[in-house]
Amino acid sequence: MSRNTAPDTLLAEAIAGDRRALAQIITTLEDGRSDCGGLVEALRPHLSGIAVIGFTGPPGAGKSTLVNALIKVWRDAGKRLAVIAVDPSSPVSGGALLGDRIRMTAALDDDGVFVRSLASHGHLGGLSPSSARIIDAFDAANYDLVLLETVGTGQNEVDIAAVADIGVVIVAPGLGDGIQAMKSGLLEIADVLVVNKGDRADARETAQQLQAAISLREGIGRAPNILQTTATTGLGVEALAAATDELLATKLAQTTAAERRHQRGRYIVERLAVSAIQAALEGDADYRSDQLIEAVLSGKCSAKEAAIELLAQSETSGSASH
């Protein structure tokens, strides 16, 4: 596959099932340039409103194992699935990603499953802003569902909520995970809350604690379903797939494909603005950020003007092109 293949040709190959062409499209989109050599435009006529399910939760809760188990259920139902696993950039998590790859090998021989790891970009961690465009690529290449896995650590939950149509939050039994989930705001983005590792003795207790915590918060938002699974044996996985299917059907009936896509586009812009300004403030010498801060403090310009100036500077430096 040549780097110079015309976008329409490349896309036609991906639509015909050429996985290498699709991989190349995703790599190009990941670069984050404005039109990605015509690729963004080429995708547009082929979009039909793919659905995105986000999976997040504390490290080691069993997200990848559960996603893998769900893949089997949805493949049996005839769905074509794209999996985006966000590669946490910290060295500590490097091993976990390797683990993801190993656990997902079952899917590698199946033409109806495409697994892609994305590096987390930018200064806030979490999803690459280009993930919204990559979702378009999966849509054009006739996948039915995107399963998006990220580790839930603050910013990532916000990302998942912006990009996914529904959010599945996965915790493992034990007070630690449950409390972490409540504190970190994971519950806020959960349409479904899963207590995985149901084979552990304390699973039921954790589910009850979460249920109690949720009922205390009634009125704040709609309460998520709480389900229990054992990803390693498949117990509860079909029920989770059914619950997710139902929620997704409701969401798809309430929103148009254009609205859902717009929401993802909004994420690209918002995320880039925040990370560009943050990058500027983190002290790149080119940005003049110190002078701008002093200018705000001494009343020479408003904070808003300083922020706009920082954005303009980051544009010329090109450091925020992802």
Ligand X SMILES: Nc1nc2c(ncn2[C@@H]2O[C@H](COP(=O)(O)OP(=O)(O)OP(=O)(O)O)[C@@H](O)[C@H]2O)c(=O)[nH]1
The residues binding ligand X (CB under 6 A) are 59-65, 96, 99-100, 151, 196-197, 199, 230-232
Shortest Cβ 62–Mg ion spacing (Å): 8
Shortest Cβ 172–Mg ion spacing (Å): 12
**The three-state (H, E, C) secondary structure of the chain, written as one string:** CCCCCCHHHHHHHHHCCCHHHHHHHHHHHHCCCCCHHHHHHHHHHHCCCCEEEEEEECCCCCHHHHHHHHHHHHHHCCCCEEEEEEECCCHHHHHHHHHHHHHCHHHCCCCCEEEEEEECCCCCCCCCCCHHHHHHHHHHCCCCEEEEEEECCCHHHHHHHHHCCEEEEEECCCHHHHHHHHHCCHHHHCCEEEECCCCCCCHHHHHHHHHHHHHHCCCCCCCCEEEECECCCCECHHHHHHHHHHHHHHHHHHCCHHHHHHHHHHHHHHHHHHHHHHHHHCCCHHHCHHHHHHHHHCCCCCHHHHHHHHHHHHHHHCCCCC
Residue 196 interacting partner from Mg ion, ligand X, none (CB closer than 5 to 8 Å by kind) = ligand X
Q: Which residue is nearest to Mg ion (CB)?
A: 64
* Cβ nearer to ligand X, comparing 57 with 122: 57
* Cβ nearer to Mg ion, comparing 133 with 197: 197
Shortest Cβ 84–ligand X spacing (Å): 13
Residue 153 interacting partner from ligand X, Mg ion, none (CB closer than 5 to 8 Å by kind) = none
* Cβ nearer to ligand X, comparing 95 with 318: 95
CA 293 vs CA 276, 302, 309: distances in Å: 16, 10, 11
Q: Name the one range near Mg ion by CB under 5 A: 48-56, 99-107, 119-127, 171-179.
A: 99-107
CA 276 vs CA 32, 153, 265: distances in Å: 14, 20, 17
Residue 151 interacting partner from Mg ion, ligand X, none (CB closer than 5 to 8 Å by kind) = ligand X
Judged by CB under 5 A, does residue 121 bind Mg ion? Answer: no
Shortest Cβ 52–Mg ion spacing (Å): 17
* Cβ nearer to Mg ion, comparing 156 with 313: 156
* Cβ nearer to Mg ion, comparing 13 with 159: 159
Residue 167 interacting partner from Mg ion, ligand X, none (CB closer than 5 to 8 Å by kind) = none
Please tell me the count of residues contacting Mg ion according to CB under 5 A.
3
Residue 64 identity:
S
Judged by CB under 5 A, does residue 197 bind Mg ion? Answer: no
| Binding residue for Mg ion, selected from 100, 139, 157, 309, defined by CB under 5 A | 100
* Cβ nearer to ligand X, comparing 64 with 184: 64
* Cβ nearer to Mg ion, comparing 37 with 173: 173
Judged by CB under 5 A, does residue 206 bind Mg ion? Answer: no
Q: What are the residues binding Mg ion (CB under 5 A)?
A: 63-64, 100
